[in-house]
Amino acid sequence: MAVTPVVGYAALYLIAVVAGAGTTLGDPGEPMVWPAFGVAATWLVMSGHTPWRWAATGAIGLFTAGGLAVTGTSLGIALVEGFAAMLGAVVFAVAVARWLPAIQPSADGGRPLSDLPGLWRLLICAGLAAVAATLLRIGGDLALDGERTFSAYGAGALFLRDAGSVLVFGAATRLLADLLGGDRGVRSALSRARVLECLAVFVTSAAAYWAVFSSQEELPIGFVLIPLTVWAAVRMPSPVLILHAAVFNCSALLYTVGGHGPYAVVADIELRAMLIQLYAGILGCVGLALALSRDERVSLIQRLRISEQEATDKATMMTTVVNSMTEGLAILDHTGRLVLRNPAAGRLLGAVPAVTGGVALGSNHGFFQPDGSPLTDDELPHVRVLAGHEVEPMDVLVRNAAVPEGRVVRFNAARLVLGTGPYHVVVVFHDVTADRRHRDELMSFAGRVAHDLLNPLTTIEGWSEVLEQELAGYRPAERVERIQRAAARMRTFLNGLLAYTAARDGKLMPTTVNMSLLVGDIINSRLDQAESTGSAPPYFEVGRLDPVEADPVLLRQLLENLIDNSLRTMAPGVGPYLAISCQPAPNGMLRIDILDNSLGIPQGTRHEIFTNFHREKGSTDTNGLELAICKRIVERHGGTIEATANPYGAGTRMSFTLPMGRSAYARALAPVR
Query: Is there a contact between 396 and 370 (Cβ–Cβ < 8 Å)?
Result: yes
What pLDDT, on a 0 to 100 scale, did the predictor assign at position 579? 94
Measure the CA–CA gap between 52 and 44, rounded to whole angstroms: 9
Q: Is the separation of the CB atoms in 569 and 619 below 8 Å?
A: no
Instruction: Tell me what pLDDT residue 47 has.
Output: 82
- Quickly list DSSP for 302-363: HHHHHHHHHHHHHHHHHHHHHHH-SSEEEEE-TTSBEEEE-HHHHHHHT-TTTS-TT-B--G
What CATH number was assigned to the domain covering residues 328-431? 3.30.450.20
Helices and strands of the chain, counted as H and E runs: 20, 13
Taking the C-alpha atoms of residue 417 and residue 97, their distance in angstroms, rounded to an integer, is 44
Element housing 430 (H / E): strand 424-431
d(CA 29, CA 81): 13
* 0.75 exceeded by pTM: no
In contact, 250 and 33? CB cutoff 8 Å: yes
Question: Does residue 396 contact residue 349 with C-beta atoms inside 8 Å?
Answer: no
Contact between residue 77 and residue 86 where contact means Cβ atoms under 8 Å apart: no
How many angstroms separate the Cα of 401 from the Cα of each of 374, 382, 407, 615?
A: 16, 23, 12, 43
SS3 content of the chain, % helix, strand, coil (to 5): 60, 10, 30
The C-alpha atoms of residue 329 and residue 348 are separated, in whole angstroms, by: 10
User: What local confidence, expressed as pLDDT, does residue 219 receive?
Assistant: 77
Bridge partners (DSSP) of residue 582 are: 592
pLDDT of residue 248: 92
Residues of the chain short of pLDDT 70, as ranges, are 1-4, 26-29, 106-112, 181-193, 217, 351-359, 363, 419-420, 438-455, 457, 471-480, 484-485, 489-508, 604-606, 612-624, 663-673
**Would 328-431 and 507-669 be classified into the same CATH topology?**
no
Alpha helix (H) ranges present in 471-514?
Answer: 477-505
Which of 41, 276, 245 is CA-nearest to residue 157? 276
Contact between 503 and 631 (Cβ < 8 Å): no
* CA dihedral sign of residues 166, 168, 169, 173: positive
SS3 of 614-673: CCCCCCCCCCCCHHHHHHHHHHHCCCCEEEEECCCCCCEEEEEEEEECCCHHHHHHCCCC
Helices (H), 342-423: 343-349, 381-386
**Which CATH class for the 507-669 domain?**
alpha beta
Give the whole-angstrom CA distance, residue 324 versus residue 343: 8
**Residue 451 · residue 444 · CB < 8 Å:** no
Please report, in angstroms and rounded to a whole number, the separation of the first and last CA atoms in the chain.
Answer: 89
- CB proximity list for 231: less than 8 A, separation 6 or greater: 201, 204
- E-strand ranges in 163-311 read none
**Taking the domains of the chain in order of start, what are their residue ranges?**
3-301, 328-431, 434-506, 507-669
Cα-to-chain-centroid distance, residue 60:
51
The residues that bridge with 512 in the sheet, in sequence order, are 549
Distance CA 501, CA 444 (A): 7
Count CB-CB contacts under 10 A for residue 281: 21
